[in-house]
Amino acid sequence: MKATVYIATSVDGFIARKNGGIDWLPSGGDTEGGEDYGYQEFIDSVDALVMGRNTYELALSFDLWPYAEKPVFVLSSRQVDIPDGIAKTVESMCTPPGEVVRRLAKRGFNHLYIDGGKTIQGFLYEGLIQQLIITKVPILIGTGIPLFDSLPHDVRLQHVETRQFENGLVQSKYEVIGNVA
């Protein structure tokens, strides 16, 4: 099972403001031609998304559900409200990352998109992420929700590529090559 993170951060490493706000992120139309930063190619490569409750609730606030018919698994210890319009593709789970991977592998999924701060941190902590695609937005927000938190060990990465976009965004792709004790 392959698990990939695709996420944007401020230059100072935050994925959202403390209140969860992402108003500092550029929209897809901010660059000529409506640059999608490789998102469509990436989303086409994954079988399903695994995200935390806060990320799910943020996605629900968008005008359109951003994941179309792609299966979405929401990790939460509390009941998750799933609107009828997306109930066929959204499911909640209350289980640790390793068990999520085992269950979804048994169901035939091969490539997961892991999203949301705590969810990403939990999967990294358990050594379940194989690839990180991180887009740095040229802004400092000073405080917020960090992408990374403490880990029980170093995680060694191999740089695969870096792309720079006209509006100053810089996207780097890394393969996770192992944990260092």
Q: For residue 59, give both structure tokens.
A: 């996605």
> Would you state the pLDDT for residue 29?
46
Q: Are 126 and 97 in contact (CB under 8 A)?
A: yes
Nearest alpha carbon to residue 16 among 111, 180, 155, 142: 142
According to DSSP, the residues that pair with 176 across neighbouring strands are 157
Beta bridge partners of 179: 155
Local confidence band at 28 (pLDDT 50, 70, 90 cut-offs) = low
Cα–Cα distance for residue pair 5/135, rounded to 1 Å: 11
Number of H helices, E strands in the chain: 4, 10
Overall average pLDDT of the 88-105 stretch: 98
User: Which pTM does this prediction carry?
Assistant: 0.93
Domain 2-180 fold is Dihydrofolate Reductase, subunit A (3.40.430)
Average pLDDT in the chain: 93
Q: How does residue 180 score in pLDDT terms, banded at 50, 70 and 90? A: low
Name every residue whose Cβ is closer than 8 Å to that of residue 11 and which is 6 or more positions away in sequence: 136, 137, 138, 139, 140
Looking at residue 152, its pLDDT comes to 86
Whole-number pLDDT of residue 33: 56
31 has pLDDT over 70: no
Please compute the mean of the pLDDT values over residues 82-88 and round it to a whole number.
97
pLDDT for the residue numbered 21? 93
Residue 181 has pLDDT above 70, yes or no: no
- Over residues 35-56, the pLDDT tens digits come to 889 999 999 999 999 999 999 9
The token duo for 120 is 């990403």
Question: Percentage of residues in the chain with pLDDT exceeding 70?
Answer: 95
Beta partners for 89? none
* Averaged pLDDT, 64-93: 96
Average pLDDT over residues 119-129: 95
